[in-house]
A and B are shown apart, each in its own frame.
Chain A
Amino acid sequence: MSVNKFFIKCAFLLAIVFTSCQKDFLEKNPIIGVTEENFYKTDKDAIAGVNAAYATLQFQLSPAGHFRWFWGDIMSDDAIKGGSGDNDVNDLLRLETFKGPVNTPLLESEWSANYEGIYRANVVLEKVPQIEMDERLKARILGEAKFIRAWNYYNLVTVFGGVPLADKVLAPSEYNIPRATAEQIWDFIEKDLKEASASLWLRSEYESSDLGRITKGSADALLAKVYLWRKKWADAKKVTDDIIKSNEFSLVTRYEDIFTLDGENNSESVFEIQYMNASGGNWGKNNANEGSFTNVFTRARGQFGGFGFNIPTQDFVDEFFKEGFEDPRLKSTVFRVGDAMGDRGIFTIEATGNIPYLYYAKKYFNSKSEEAPFGDPSPNGGSNDRVIRFSDVLLMHAEASYQSGDETSAKNSLNLVRARVSIPPISFSGEALLNAIYRERRIELGLESHRFFDLVRTGKAPEVLGNLGFKAGTHEIFPIPQSQILATNGAITQNPGY
């Protein structure tokens, strides 16, 4: 063997050795993005993590989205589906007449959006405690995550009843967990909210650039709602008392200002889901879109360029006249024929494309001038979703006080809400007072996604919705998405009656 050959041979053997000895050769980390193990190291990571959980609050439509006013308003006696006809989102018609399909993307999306929120909150709750950072900020972030988790379970338990309880990020082997009972879910929500309340900041402690974040008041208000659902009247009274006494919130002077663009995150905003009219993009999850579908869905058709959903009923409008005068809040809640629809023109039946609806929902209406200047404005409604307002807190306080036997406090809070719109105070007592509180909720919070759940919570649903097909014992909650029963091989079971 010549020297030459020998060297070449050695060179190749070395080549083999080098290729095989490169230990790092098989270590490939993502080029864009970082693995979870390498993230969650700084306070910035913690904030980005909890922001991603906030992002799920905005999810709307399929495949994962919240339909708050579909459930809260359309399912109730306040509104009907609307749209271009029976076939336009026909599932919604079947649901509102309580002949609901068990396999509808609407319920599946609601289910999915909540669990995406829960997952993201769980990630924060698992990863952030290990980060070395300012403890006060850390506590706030964990509180925000707990609130978001509780909020999603609140949606789930009120829409579906008992659901699978994921209190941590699930491993593939845990995907088939069965449903917990509604009581267990309520307990879990209560615990999360109490802990959130203890570690969240007051609204006044946030920078203005953080407006829209969950505050201690948000957690307390949602906790109050939970107590009302659970009929824990004394607890509800105490927590609403605390919110009122905190002086963190106050009623806006003019009711009609609440739902304007300037009225976003105003002094009575306790929990508000943020949207904006950014151009481009599309609805839904997993993209950077910040717009709401509510604006275009509730706007009239024809020249108004909307889809005409959530049509107020005559019964709802009549409620505003029952005290012998027109409640001033009606003109902020409902468009009537002849009203100007912002800068889009006068509401006539002809202008809506001859669809014979006499009323349209007004609270989430936006003028053309408020739209993004370019792109497709339809998916990009800018109106924030006012989930809990201070007037809601006052009415919860009134209800809790009444149920705790404190009619004076009940009347006091109720009349604060009425005084804002300059209508006479209520002086009833007994059941008449309770019914006055319920009625005040229907008017004050009309078309803000409360009504159906209020009817179920107060036990009035069978009486009010019976003629629509509502059956007590079944229709308080909706069917579990059939797809999820199949996906878990039956580990998740259907609600009775469906």
Chain B
Amino acid sequence: MRFLHIFIFIMFSVMAHSQITVTGKVNLVNETEGAIGVSISLIGNNSVGTITDIDGTYEITVPDKNAVLEFSFIGYLTQNIVVGNQTIIDVVLSENASQLDEIVVTGYATQKRSNISGSVATLSSKDIAEKPILRVEQALQGQTAGVQVTQNSGSPGSTLSVRVRGVGTINNSDPLYIVDGIPVEGLDFLNPNDIESINVLKDAASAAIYGSRGANGVVLITTKSGTKNQEGKISYEGYYGVQRVGRLLDLLNASEYATLQNEAYLAAGKTPPLEFANPSVLGNGTDWQEAIFQTAPMSNHQITISGGGETTNHNLSANYFSQDGIVGGPKANFQRATVRLNSSYDVKSWLTLGNNLGFTWLTRDGLTENSQYNSPVIRAINMDPITPIKKADDTYAYSFYADTDIANPINGIEQTHNNWTSNRFVGNVYSNINFGKGFTFKTTASMDVTFAVQKTFNPKYDLSNVPSISEAPVAEKNLINSVGIGNNTWNNKQIENVLTWTRSFNNKHDLALIGGTAAILNRFDGNGGGNTNLPSNDPKDAFISNTIDPASIRSYQVASESTLLSYFARANYELSDKYLFSGTLRADGSSKFGKNNRFGYFPSFSAGWIISKEKFWNVKPISNLKLRASWGQNGNDRIGEYSFSTVVLTGQNYTFGQDEIITNGSVALTSANPDLKWETSTQTNFGVDVELLEGMVDFTADYYVKTTSDMLYAAPIPLVAGTAAPIQNVATAENKGLEFGTIFRKSLKGLKYSLGGNIAFVESRITGLGRGGEPVNSGYVQFANADAARTDVGQPLGSFFWLCYRRDFSKSARS
């Protein structure tokens, strides 16, 4: 960016009458080689300026001795030097600890940190490289106040949940992810090493430029690109490691288990089982946790080639990552290979063409997770220590003591064959035209295509001791094998046009205007099939055509499309670099809503005041003090297609006739909700940024109130409707929060260290419910045949409701 700016700058410069020619070399502190690209300009006359060449040397002509040269370089303190009688001026630039010049990506543009009036968190590649991470979301973990990252599962490649400023909706609460300008679902395709920066737009005013989809915050990810005028560089990075579970639960061993069982039987007035008569001889028994957990290897290899010439830059990377599960080992394997090419090319002085292209292949073998009865970990914890893993005949054993839904976890892992393999291309090409006079126009065409195949095979097995009677519980046998395959293609295309105009007047007024359009087409195609009764029980023979029951072969096909058409505009105005104003308006039209409610309008305003730049400010240690305020509205459209209408589906069949002919019936299974409209969130944010001692300490605080209304959710409906629940606008919630973040930086003889911390408080409660004001129940629990969570007025979203029991079991002993 900086370079582009300077080239343009030179293009428009006028030859001045030279009086003194100054030359010299610029070095960066603690570095021996000269610094390339340091900007040197004449104070008071913007038209005179140059940059250092590849050796760090420069030459500039100034009008007279009184001329003052400004040496500036990003990340370093700017120096002003009076020319005087010198003709050779060598400069050593020292580092700037202050983050005020940090470039923040704000959506369709960038801004200096100092001039941001919203609430935006930034992570650079340095922050990301500091800790080893396997997934992009982990980079955000603990780094930013108000961004909560939770791991839902320990299995390799599983998704992390990211929540910006708490859970604001009962609908999908994932933030909107934008990678190099492309809206994407999920981040598992991204190689963390490829990331240049992550910016999280937390408040509504910042996210408003993404309108209908910004209600849960926006995570903007920029991938690495090369640098101009840089020699080609090849680097390799790799690691190999092993993982092991940190701590096992302290469970009963066999003799302890038998002792407790005996007590329970006696308390119930029943005779304890004979085999528990002498608990001590049972010893430790089976440690099911030891049985399922194992040491799992993981490895990562990355090659990066980057560089750039006068007019081009490129960054090419290839990465391979593999990880086994600590449960299931290779049965939970995750592998990812990525290739990325980011490059840009200044075709003309006014035209830049570029691309960000990424390809990802990933494959994942999945075990059951987070399931009440079926995941290996739940089974290992609930399985009794009496039951051995295998019987004497080397087949797997089942338990006589545990709940019949708790099956042998080792057998369960062995019988699971579930693979997901996807090939995904996410990329864009763009052209950026600089018309001069501050006008630029950028057109970007992007595409996100995923081809994914899911394969499952359920082999035939029976853990019964006497297979002819098949006495084992249902969970311990599968008498009919089956295979299933599903092909899924997601094809998302976007065309985006952005016109930008930036202008400074009288060294006082800085104005930046952005206007643009975006059109998105999302299409999903799925098809698949399955069978039962395969002659072979070998997963290698698991094909749909391979069955003795051809009538069992079935197939399906699904397809859906949705579109989003957007218009957006933003104005940023900075007065004397002290008073900051910003306003945004976005209009989004979505095919997911009915004609009457198709378009949503999302405005926002924000303002900032940098008090420390005022003349009256004389509190020296506080080098920067900024107050911020913002208000804005965002939307959430994360619902399925065609929800406003009802789709009549075939397959509701009945049998007629003496020959029993299955005859088609058609009906809509979900009722329509033509009044369906956008979920809207309105957020007001107040913030303060404080910088002490030129960047040694940064402190940020934010307070916000976020109201989410017309939440979209297929809330359960009374069965009298006779249909599945339609998506409705069900509830209104309010989230209030406080966020604090601080960082302390120090540089000691080239050793830089920093210490940071952040804390956030969020209070969430439901303020209104739709329809008749019924609470919305969710979180079905199988064994209770009831929902565990309730969304009700005055309570946080999805609060757990429990009956309280207090009972002294020792005194109520009875059969």
Contacts and interface: CB of A to CB of B under 8 A. Distances in A.
A279 interface: yes
A28 B646 contact: no
B672 interface: yes
Interface in A191-237: 208-213
A115 B720 contact: yes
A175 B717 contact: yes
Interface stretch (A14-22, A252-260, A411-419): A14-22
A487 interface: yes
Most buried by A among B591, B652, B772, B775: B652
A50 B664 CA distance: 10
B661 A26 contact: no
Nearest to A482: B786
Interface string B643-676: 0011111111111111111111111110111000
Interface in B559-574: 559-563, 565, 567
B532 A53 contact: no
Contacts of B559: 31-32
A7 to B, nearest CB: 11
B665 A48 contact: yes
Interface stretch (A35-43, A444-452, A460-468): A35-43
Contacts, number: 245
A376 B480 contact: yes
B350 interface: yes
Contacts of A52: 652, 665-667
Contact of B533 (A54, A115, A117, A375): A375
A48 B662 CA distance: 12
B658 A25 contact: no
Interface residues of B, number: 79
A257 B660 CA distance: 19
B443 A15 contact: yes
Contacts of A213: 656
Contact of A374 (B351, B548, B589, B641): B548
B90 interface: no
Interface string B608-651: 00000000000000000000000000000000011001111111
B558 to A, nearest CB: 6
A278 interface: yes
A26 B642 contact: no
A484 B720 contact: yes
B747 interface: no
A403 B655 CA distance: 39
Contacts of A105: 785
B664 A48 contact: yes
A28 B716 CA distance: 26
A484 B774 CA distance: 11
A425 B561 CA distance: 71
Given A5-B350, A120-B667, A170-B720, A19 B565 contact: yes
A492 B558 CA distance: 38
Given A274-B655, A279-B551, A112 B719 contact: yes
Most buried by B among A115, A210, A374: A374
Contact of B590 (A20, A26, A54, A170): A26
A108 B660 contact: no
B666 A210 contact: no
Interface stretch (B321-329, B354-362, B721-729): B721-729
A176 B669 CA distance: 19
A36 B561 CA distance: 18
Contact of A55 (B435, B654, B777): B654
Contact of B773 (A25, A111, A265, A489): A489
Contact of B671 (A1, A19, A172, A287): A172
Contacts of A492: 718
B795 interface: no
A436 interface: no
A325 interface: no
Contacts of B651: 287-288
Given A30-B642, A208-B658, A55 B433 contact: no
A491 interface: yes
B660 A276 contact: yes
A33 interface: yes
A489 B480 contact: no
A58 interface: yes
Contacts of A170: 671, 720-722
B666 to A, nearest CB: 4
Contacts of A268: none
Contacts of A139: none
A307 to B, nearest CB: 12
A61 interface: no
B668 A36 contact: yes
A53 B665 CA distance: 8
Contact of A212 (B655, B668, B672): B655
A51 B664 contact: yes
B666 A31 contact: no
A142 B481 CA distance: 44
A489 B656 CA distance: 41
Interface of B: 350-351, 433, 435, 441, 443, 480, 495, 497, 517, 519, 532-533, 548-549, 551-552, 554, 557-563, 565, 567, 589-591, 598, 641-642, 645-669, 671-673, 716-723, 726, 728, 771-775, 777, 785-786
Interface of A: 1, 5, 8-9, 12, 15-16, 19-20, 22, 25-37, 39, 45, 48-55, 57-58, 64, 103-105, 108, 111-112, 115-120, 122-123, 164, 166, 169-173, 175-177, 208-213, 265, 274-276, 278-280, 286-288, 290, 373-376, 481, 483-484, 486-489, 491-492
Given A19-B565, A172-B671, 8 more contacts: A12-B443, A20-B567, A33-B648, A49-B666, A55-B653, A265-B658, A488-B720, A491-B772
21 contacts: A9-B441, A12-B433, A15-B495, A22-B519, A30-B560, A32-B557, A35-B646, A51-B654, A115-B722, A175-B771, A208-B658, A212-B655, A276-B655, A279-B549, A287-B651, A288-B653, A373-B549, A375-B532, A484-B720, A487-B717, A489-B772
Closest 3 CB pairs of A and B: A119-B722, A374-B549, A51-B665
